[in-house]
Amino acid sequence: MQPGKPPAISSRSWPVRLSVSLKYTGDLGLVLNRAMQFEDAGADALWVTESYGFDSATILGALAARTRRVQVGPGVLNVFSRTPALLAQTAAGLDAVSGGRAVLGLGASGPQVVEGWHGLAYDRPLARTRDVVEICRSAWRREVVAFDGTTIRVPLAPGKGSGLGKPLKMLTRPVRGRIPVYLAALGAKNVELTAEIAEGWLTFLFAPEAMHEVWGKPLAAGSARRSATLGPLDIVAGGVLAIGDDQAALRDLARPMTALYVGGMGARGQNFYHALVCRYGFADAADRIQDLFLSGRRADAEAAVPDELIDLIHLVGPADHIANRIDAYRAAGVTTLNVTPEGTDPVRDIRSVRALLDAGNS
């Protein structure tokens, strides 16, 4: 795929929902009030990120108490720093507080966060993700959590003198025996696993025009093993949102996030986001962004993000440009457009996107 020359996309039409990724680095009260405004403006789901800032579960509890209709979920909790049983408890608790509106976003994260923040070994992430999902679903069904997986083992009958207690089932009864699981995935094997076992796929830095070339084979392979009980895979994709006539200025709103992930989320050779952008045809730019970011020249790294890349993976610019990008996401098979509002009037922008989606869904 060549920069600035995306291949033609399908004209196939899909109904698309709207979700919002909330930023909570500022005043948390203002963030929660803004979330309520997003719900009123037409958002269908709200995600709270968790990397190495505040924990998302606490914020989600407050969010569930202040909203009425939207789905709420972490986007995402990593599968290493909490036990599978605790992840199941957290999702069940959020589902109870929200009246059955919870979804559980999970991901392997990466060495930068798992090792650099939690001090844990980043070991066999795919196998651990599969084990965690299976244990969570068993816990929500209130089955005794006795599990002999690849990375996690809870023996049914502890050996003599082992010091282990007997396996347990969840003490309280969940509101729902099945809570939707969404997996964050970028690499081929992770996307294949997602298509096999998850209700939804959380993408990031997603280029709609690259859907078939980059993810077509792993999605097909995973879908071939997918249980019919899971229903269709909800594909969640989008980017920074800012609507206005000065596209050059609005692109600058998307540069910091893009540079951070492409340049700084992992060492050389271990940055999944850098590798993804290279697959889009921006290898030279990705290398330059990484070199600048890792040398401490963050502003220069942001300036090095090509306009063509921003236009491909974010939604910033005039209303007609946003409408065209929504059509591209829809044609790629995206079923939930996920945006991070960065414009001067984020509530207005959400209303505008809601209107565009409704027009295309009708």
At 26 the pLDDT is 75
At 9 the pLDDT is 37
At 161 the pLDDT is 53
At 15 the pLDDT is 86
Q: Which residues of the chain have pLDDT under 50?
A: 1-12
At 13 the pLDDT is 55
pTM of the model: 0.92
d(CA 34, CA 32): 5
Beta strands in the chain (DSSP E): 17-22, 45-48, 71-74, 77-78, 104-107, 147-148, 153-154, 181-184, 200-202, 234-243, 315-317, 336-341
* Burial degree of 110 (CB within 10 A; 0-12, 13-18, 19+): buried
At 318 the pLDDT is 98
At 7 the pLDDT is 34
pLDDT tens figures, 124-139: 999 999 999 999 999 9
Domains of the chain are 17-244+318-361 (3.20.20.30), 247-315 (no CATH)
Radius of gyration of the chain (CA): 20
